[in-house]
Chain A
Amino acid sequence: ILNVEQSPQSLHVQEGDSTNFTCSFPSSNFYALHWYRWETAKSPEALFVMTLNGDEKKKGRISATLNTKEGYSYLYIKGSQPEDSATYLCAFRRNTGNQFYFGTGTSLTVIP
């Protein structure tokens, strides 16, 4: 069984605060890491695909970093807004088997 862990499980922040959360995955046989944003009653929406150690990606106020040697990725949100409230999922794919392994997500609530 391959474990992809996300922490914290849930997070409440005030509007305007910056926040970050973690996705941990096996450091061996890395191929790709995906981040998705999943709002309630909607379907997951792609944020980033990261493939290289040291990758940094940015989309507006959201950014992500990748460390494949130690097996983690951070997602950062700068100046959180209520519309950022969602569950953030990461998905790991290794270079054998072609399967995707999703974490259980970090649920973010931004309080106005």
Chain B
Amino acid sequence: DSGVTQTPKHLITATGQRVTLRCSPRSGDLSVYWYQQSLDQGLQFLIQYYNGEERAKGNILERFSAQQFPDLHSELNLSSLELGDSALYFCASSPWGDSNQPQHFGDGTRLSIL
């Protein structure tokens, strides 16, 4: 158990809809990272938050947004969903904002768009 909690585990919805994925980092970790893993692709970095502030941005679509709240949990919002957004979305956390520490991954949220 990594200590990172992601909810829900599975989500099935339709094109055009909007969903929110939630992540609670390990106790004491200030940084949260979001990743997308689509079929036949590796992990794609989406965005990092550190102590409530955006720290780094990857290939995140404009239809996607994220935030980190004062209690350090984070949400990833996906809107105007398309079939290609079907993927496994991982959240990871680390103690600080730099990359000299390993990331601890949650179990992921599997999003299926019908």
Q: Which residues of A contact B (CB under 8 A)?
A: 31-32, 34, 36, 42-49, 51, 89, 91, 93, 97-105
In the complex, A60 Cα to B57 Cα: how many Å? Answer: 35
Asked if A32 and B45 make an inter-chain contact with CB atoms under 8 angstroms apart, the answer reads no
Asked if A43 and B42 make an inter-chain contact with CB atoms under 8 angstroms apart, the answer reads no
Among the listed A47, A89, A98, A104, which residue makes an inter-chain contact with B41, where contact means beta carbons less than 8 Å apart?
A104
Asked if A100 and B100 make an inter-chain contact with CB atoms under 8 angstroms apart, the answer reads no
Q: Does B16 contact A (CB under 8 A)?
A: no
A8 to chain B minimum Cβ distance, whole angstroms, is 15
In the complex, A96 Cα to B2 Cα: how many Å? Answer: 29
Chain B interfacial residues counted at CB < 8 A: 26
Chain B positions within 8 Å of A43 at CB level: 2, 4, 90, 105-108
Sampled A-B contacts (16; CB under 8 Å) = A34-B99, A43-B90, A43-B108, A45-B2, A46-B103, A46-B104, A49-B101, A51-B100, A89-B42, A97-B56, A98-B55, A98-B56, A98-B99, A100-B58, A102-B35, A102-B44
In the complex, A98 Cα to B50 Cα: how many Å? Answer: 12
Q: Does B43 contact A (CB under 8 A)?
A: yes
Q: Does B24 contact A (CB under 8 A)?
A: no
A45 to chain B minimum Cβ distance, whole angstroms, is 7
Residue of B nearest to A31 (CB): B99
Asked if A99 and B58 make an inter-chain contact with CB atoms under 8 angstroms apart, the answer reads yes
In the complex, A54 Cα to B21 Cα: how many Å? Answer: 40
User: In this complex, which of B35, B100, B104, B108 has the most chain A Cβ atoms within 10 angstroms of its Cβ?
Assistant: B100
